[in-house]
Structure 1
Amino acid sequence: MSPAKTPLIGLKADQFRHPLDLEATQALKQLPGLDLMIRSLLGPLAEQVFYLDNIASSILVSDQQLPHLHQLLIEACKILDLELPQLYIRQHPVPNAYTFAIRGRQPFIVVHTSLLELLNPEEIQAVIAHELGHLKCDHGVYLTLANIMVLAAGQLPTLGGVIAQTLQSQILEWVRCAEFTCDRAALLVTQDPKVVASLLMKLTGGSPTLASKLNLDAFLAQARSYDDVSNSDLGELLKQAQVAPLTHPVPVIRAREIDRWAGSKTYQTLLQNGKNEYNSEASSKGGWRNW
């Protein structure tokens, strides 16, 4: 791990959780029986299905298999003060990554090969850290339901009509809010907002041939143009309609959010406290810890 990066010993999820994530999570917790249903019924079944699929159709990363990716995972986990999950690489033409975890069970992350081909090592670690953010914040319960709903989207009218559609809308809103938190986890690991913004830019319009030619400053200026659309009521209405069916906030807004948080006192304090804690622990042991 680069000496410039600060490990965040004792980091708590609520220290970096986005306010919208907190608000949306509290709203879901008000739905009676939802948490219990996922943990006791949907979660265990989905876990077995995904695990079998991963073992059969993906590569399990380890110190013996793609060790450079394994090292990125280890470093990210140590910075976020998190136990090591499994990491799988899957052959897939659509750049994507996702995670699955029910509390008390073995969590895992899956990254598509097309995403690896698009990014440099720092950006790949940002992707891993983003997924680790879901684990750190215990997003697994509602994330499980979100994944199932997305897979079953075409059948929702037969699964409960208006009630299912309402629940789907609420879950999708929660997922979008949770993504802001996980982008913060990516920043805490990379400790460079340009890395996270570059990742988002490449996900927006990149390819292995275009990635090196993209202009990050122009992309951030594009984000400001998107904000300007909200200056009219019609523009704001159109933006809400555009986002409502999505599982992720639009990339320009994610880039703007992470750029703002990188300049916040909260972020700077987390890094400084982490540095102080790390130095104190290293000093008490007579030197730097062996990572």
Structure 2
Amino acid sequence: MALNHDLFIHESDRTALNALKAIPGFTQLLRGFMKIWNERQFKLLNLSTYVRADETQMAKYHDMLVPICERLDIPVPELYVALNPYPNAYTSGDNEPFIVMTSGLINTVPEELLPTVLAHECGHIACHHVLYLTMGRLILSGALSMLELSPLITQPVSMAFYYWMRCSEYSADRAAAVCDGSGENTIELCMRLAGFDKNIPIAANKAAFLKQAEEYYKMVDESAWNKVMEFMMFNHATHPLNALRAYQCNKWTSTSDFKRMVEYLDDLDNGQQSTHVPMNVPLSSFLKKDANTVAAELREAGFTNVNITRTTQADGAAVNSAVAITAGGRTDIKVGEWLPADIAWLISAYVPLSEQEQRAAHPGQICVPYSDAGYCGRDYRTVVDELRALGFTNISVCEQADIRVKFLIKEYSVAHISIDHTDRFERNTWFRQNAPVSIRYHVMAQS
């Protein structure tokens, strides 16, 4: 089963996007943008202006892209190369996202780092960033300022877009590290973009570059004024600073979660069973689904010890639906948690007792098909015949002379029924065969 992309989304990315969506007016801005934005405009621009890298031209760049998309489980986007001395790559679109690399990027970074660049851009696609990134670029560049949307492009919206776009880069860097198997290439790429051109004949020192970020964070944390300066200097930046990107990537790739993620994807690529499997969905999402379907999904995800147990008690549940589920006896499994592949899953499926099982469980007893309310109002003679056919042997009937408005209450209809001295009972209740059954029925009152 493919890896849930939420597992490598950076925490600040998720928080910043939620904050952006919560700003008053953002929903209206998004709706307005979707009305005027046309993805085909980008297609026309790309086809007419740039070189498309595919199987027939610049094929080596296209060939770099295919295994990345397979690993991230996304469709292969179109890839274009643009003549631009500024080293850059970006992803735009929505339903059919595409990637553009500049000639300046190709000339700046070694060829072995280009797959890392492409993996970073594919990370934006996998994390569902593309629509918001496209919208943000157009808004922040002023391209939409002359349209009817301009009143909705407030300062809070602009600031929130800048902040989220910076945070989204951390998630894309994580995706690149997942594809590379480590964060080394991403760290080196950040160094190249910071000033370490591939033609500079000096050995890179990644540890020293990461040390710069540590000093930066320490300096910012030293005083409130430094934090203010940081905000004033960088609040209009669309990308985080190179050293900080490298630091964040290095920090995450040092975690056990990253190592397990890479191991898991490597095992998938090699057709092998992984020792640990990620929890991709909330545990509650399995409830009420068919238990066999749940078991199949867990096995497909890579879990090897999945069992189904039967429960006969579940109010309102569908037959064979999962009414409870545990992993290793736990019910507090969280999305993103890595679990041993052989952890014991136990799915409780609701399967009611068969008629034969019910009879065996209630020897010498009779199950009534109606509740007390279900018998009331029916012709008492029919009810008596049905109860005798079920096997009741102790039935008594009596009149209840109280009918005065004949069209409201039918004569000879059951006014009251009790079984085994129980006035209120539900359908499918079991009673002793010789339990006393008392029935009162309506008759016309004598005037």
Q: TM-score range by the shorter chain?
A: 0.7 to 0.9
TM-score (norm 2): 0.56
- Secondary structure (helix, strand or coil) at the match of 1:87 reads strand
Structure 1: distance between partners of 2:128 and 2:201: 33
By how many angstroms is 1:38 displaced?
A: 3.2
Give a deviation string over 1:16-69, Cα, whole Å, max 9, x none: 001111111222333333443333332x2xx23322221111110011111111
Distance 1:161 1:121 in 2: 45
Cα offsets for 1:75-126 (capped at 9, x unmatched): 2111211110000001101111111121xx3211000011011112331111
Residue 258 of structure 1 is matched in structure 2 by 249
Q: Spell out the pairing of 1:95-134 with structure 2 (5 A cutoff).
A: 95-102=87-94, 105-134=95-124
Aligned-residue RMSD, C-alpha: 2.4
Greater Cα shift, 210-219 or 164-173 = 210-219
Bigger strand fraction: 2
Q: Percent identity?
A: 29
| TM-score (structure 1 length as normaliser) | 0.84
Unaligned runs of 5+ in 1: 1-8, 283-291
Q: Give the deviation of 1:217 after TM superposition.
A: 2.5
Equivalent of 2:64, from 36, 55, 72? 72
C-alpha distance after superposition, 1:236-271 (max 9, x if no partner): 221122220100111111010000000012211211
Where does residue 223 of structure 2 map in the other structure? Answer: 232
* Code of the aligned partner of 2:18: Q
Cα distance, 1:254–1:41 mapped onto 2, change above 3 Å:
same
- 1:103-252 correspondence runs (5 A): 105-152=95-142, 160=150, 164-210=154-200, 213-230=203-220, 231-252=222-243
* Structure 1 residue 40 corresponds to structure 2 residue 16: no
Matched-pair contact (CA < 8 Å) for 1:38–1:141? no
Residues 221 and 109 of structure 1, relative CA distance in 2, 3 Å threshold: same
- Equivalent residues in 2 for 1:5-44, closer than 5 Å: 10-30=2-22, 31-42=26-37, 44=38
8 Å CA contact 1:118–1:211 kept in 2: the answer is no
Measure how far apart 1:175 and its partner are: 0.5
CA separation in 1, counterparts of 2:141 and 2:152?
18
Deviation string, structure 1 residues 176-223 (Cα, Å, up to 9, x no partner): 111110011111111221210010011111334327544323211212
Deviation at 1:273, TM superposition (A): 2.1
More helix by share: 1
CA drift at 1:227? 1.5
Instruction: Give, in whole Å, the separation in 2 of the partners of 1:39 and 1:91.
Output: 29
Name the CA distance, whole Å, in 1 between partners of 2:144 and 2:203. 38
Q: Whose RCO is larger (CA < 8 A, sep 6+)?
A: 1
| 2:264 is the counterpart of 1:269 | no
Structure 2 unaligned runs (5+)?
Answer: 274-447
Q: Give the number of equivalent residue pairs.
A: 269
